[in-house]
Amino acid sequence: MRGSFGMTHPARTVARLGRSARRWTALAAVAIAALASSSCHKSVSGVVGGPHTPTGHPVLFIGNSLTYSNNLPGIVSALAQQAGDTIDAWYVAYPDYALVDHFQSESTIRTIKGYKWEYVIMQQGPSSVAINRDTLVLGAQLLSQSVREIGATPAMYMVWPDISRAAFFDAVRVSYQTAAQAVNGVFMPAGSAWQIAWSRDPTLPLYSGDGFHPSVLGSYLAALVIFERVTGKDARQLPAVAVMTGGAPINVPAATVRLLQEAAHEANTIFPAR
C-alpha cells in the first residue's frame, strides 16, 4: 500500500511515506514493523505544525489511507473555497493505522496539542465487528483527552466496508456513531452518503479499483459530508462542479454532482451530528 504521512501536513501538500502499520488485537499491539520512505513536503510559511489563517475553520484529520487517498482534506478545503469560506485542513495519517496507534504516536499527540483546532476529525478502518468497534471507541476516547485540552471538538468520520462486505454498512455506521457518542463528538456519516447515492444511481464508481479505497468521486462525496458538518452550509448550494485539492475540476456531469451533493445533505439530515 502506498502512502502515509509522518508528520502534520497541510491538505494541499502531497507528502507520503511507505510504512507498515501496527495492528491491534484484543485492544493490544501485536506488531511494529519497519519504515521505508519517499517524501515530498512543502510547508506553509516555512512552518509545519498548524494553520496560518486567523479566520475560517482550522481542522485536523487523524486517520489512515481512507483519509489521505485522493487527499480528502484538500478536497474539503476546496469545497469551502467554492462556498466563499475557509477550511484550513491539516492531517496526520499512516497506512492501516487504528486510533490507538495514533494515541501511541508522539507526532500525532504533538500535532493535536500544537494548535487551537476547531475540529479534530478521526477515522480508522470500517470497525464493523465488535472487537474493532471497541478499539475505535477506545482510541477515540484516548485521543479526545488531548483534543478537549486545546478546546477542539472531536469528530468521527464514518467510512465504509470493503466491496465484499456491502451488507455491513449499517454496522460501520453504528460503530462510528457509538464512538462519536462516547466522546460527545460530531458524527460525519460519509459511508451512509455512499449508500444514499447508490440508491439513486447504483453505477456510481465510489470505490477505487481495489474495492476498498475510495475513488476520486468517493472521496468527493465524503468531503461534501464533512464540509457541511464543519461549515454548517448546505452542500446543495455549491456549484455543480466537482473539485479536487486546489480547486481543480473533476470531469463529472453536473447531474451527477447534484446527486452527490443531495446524498451528502440527506445523510447529514437523517443522521444528526450529535
Residue 189 placed within a domain: yes
Q: Which residue has the higher pLDDT, 9 or 57?
A: 57
CA atoms of 76 and 88, how far apart (whole Å): 9
- Domains: count for the chain: 1
Residue 241's pLDDT band, with cuts at 50, 70 and 90, is very high
2 is a domain residue:
no
pTM over 0.85: no
203 or 47, higher pLDDT: 203
* 68-84 pLDDT per residue, tens: 999 999 999 999 999 99
Residue pLDDT, tens place only, 20-62: 233 332 222 222 222 222 222 222 222 233 444 556 899 999 9
In order of 94, 157, 169, 211, 240, the CA distances from 164 in angstroms are 24, 21, 11, 8, 32
Sign of the Cα pseudo-torsion (270, 226, 123, 197, in order): positive
Percent of the chain at pLDDT exceeding 70: 80
Any idea which residue has 472487537 for its cell? 131
3 domain-assigned = no
Q: Is residue 195 part of a domain?
A: yes
Q: What is the largest CA-CA distance in the chain?
A: 48
Which regions of the chain does DSSP assign to beta strands (E)? 9-10, 24-25, 28-29, 57-63, 87-93, 119-122, 153-157, 186-188
Residue 149 lies in a domain: yes
Average pLDDT over residues 216-241: 98
Read off the pLDDT band of 8 (50, 70, 90).
very low
The sign of the CA dihedral 31, 33, 39, 42 is: positive
pLDDT for 55: 65
Between the CA of residue 44 and those of 89, 107, 110, what are the distances in Å? 12, 18, 18
* Domain assignment present for 79: yes
The pLDDT tens digits of the residues spanning 161-200 come to 999 999 999 999 999 999 999 999 999 999 999 999 999 9
CATH number at residue 203: 3.40.50.1110
Is the pLDDT at 1 greater than 90, yes or no? no
Give pLDDT tens digits for 113-129.
999 999 999 999 999 99
- pLDDT number for residue 53: 54
What per-residue confidence (pLDDT) applies to 211?
97
For residue 176, what are the domain limits? Answer: 9-270
Instruction: Identify the pLDDT of residue 56.
Output: 86
Confirm whether 231 is domain-assigned: yes
Q: What would the mean pLDDT of 118-141 be, rounded to a whole number? A: 96
**Residue 4 domain-assigned?**
no
Cell reading at 165: 462486505
